[in-house]
Structure 1
Amino acid sequence: MTDFVTAETAIRQLHARCIDIVWRKDAKAFAECFAEDGEWKIAGQHMRGRAEIEALFAKLLGLCEHVMTSVSSPILEVGDGSAIGRTYVTEDAKLANGATAHTIGVYHEKFVETAEGWKFASRHWSLKYRGPADFTGDFYDTPDYGPFPGRPADDEPTTTKKAGSV
């Protein structure tokens, strides 16, 4: 069994590296945070493998001048060389067109210990809010998976339906 404290520390460092990578808009480094066959589901997209992840990251962050990400301490369940987690995330972005956006969501994550260290095996983004920091923007109807370790099914797509929309 993998030591919980060692795994948690490594996973927190993985998140910290991602915060730095997003700020620097380094698509290659972002993709390298994933296992070779890692998956990333965000904004209705489902990428498989580092090449697809790198390409989408470059496209998404190309729309932004800067993005500052903050993550909560992940809730984790650690197994032998793997873990599942739930991490709450906020982002403040200045878009290339000068607009700003405040985003709140949850990453449902799977982690795997590799020869390169801990990596994301999969990340499923559940968008909860996007708009001004005063919460006058749009809230989104994304599933509530109940208490941890509740999570989306592996084949479940991300959703981006605004609250109250049909």
Structure 2
Amino acid sequence: MTDLVAIECAIRQLHGRYADALWRKDPDSFAALFAVDAEWKVAGMHMRGREEIRETFARFMVHTGRTLMTFRSPIVELVDGMVTARTYVTEQNKFASGQSADTIGIYYERFVEEDGALRFRYRHWNMYYIGPPDLTAKYYDVRDYGPPPGFPGPDDPTTVRTDFLFTDAEGKASATP
């Protein structure tokens, strides 16, 4: 049991650093949390490699005021020798346009040790909700992968916003910030 405790602690530290880099809008710190050959699937996009993740994150942050991401306890599993987790997440978002929204979702994650540190090897984000904090907006119909260690397949899509639109400084609406 000691190994799982150490692994969970390392995952919690990684999540904490992720939330910190997101809050500070720091693309270099954010990208350093991912393995060199990591994959990140979010909002209908599939990024491959630390540099593509860094560039995409930097682009996102132009439209973000602040995001406070809160990770729940990761449900950790060892699958074929690989550390995986399912982590429930909430966010409080304030966008550069002045809009705000809360989100609820799940990160499906695989980890790897690289250069002496635990890093994200694979992340798949499924968003269940985006809207006001009173949870009155519609919830997305997202595939259920069963109990842990149930995990999305490599071709399974991530949630794409269909009814919450962002507006830019000129009043143009789009599904991504």
* TM-score computed with the length of structure 2 as normaliser: 0.86
SS in 2 for 1:52: helix
Q: 1:162 to 1:98 in 2, by over 3 A?
A: closer
User: Shift of residue 153 of structure 1?
Assistant: 0.4
RMSD: 1.8
User: Shift of residue 162 of structure 1?
Assistant: 5.5
Contact persistence 1:106–1:127 (CA under 8 A): yes
Residue type of the alignment partner of 2:155:
D
Matching residue of 2:55: 55
Q: State the identity %.
A: 50
Residue type of the alignment partner of 1:34:
F
CA distance in 1, matches of 2:147, 2:74: 13
Aligned residues: 162
Matching residue of 1:67: 67
Contact persistence 2:128–2:140 (CA under 8 A): yes
User: Shift of residue 5 of structure 1?
Assistant: 1.7
Deviation digits for residues 35-82 of structure 1 (CA, Å, limit 9, x no counterpart): 100000000000000111011111122211111010101000136873
CA distance in 2, matches of 1:113, 1:80: 15
Matching residue of 1:95: 95
Matching residue of 2:168: none
Contact persistence 2:79–2:149 (CA under 8 A): no
Matching residue of 2:156: 156
Deviation digits for residues 2-25 of structure 1 (CA, Å, limit 9, x no counterpart): 921221111110001111111000
* TM-score computed with the length of structure 1 as normaliser: 0.91
The answer for unaligned runs of 5 or more in structure 1 is none
- Shift >4 Å, 4+ stretches: none
CA distance in 2, matches of 1:3, 1:147: 22
Tell whether 2:127 aligns with 1:127: yes
The answer for unaligned runs of 5 or more in structure 2 is 164-177
User: Shift of residue 141 of structure 1?
Assistant: 1.4
CA distance in 2, matches of 1:14, 1:122: 13
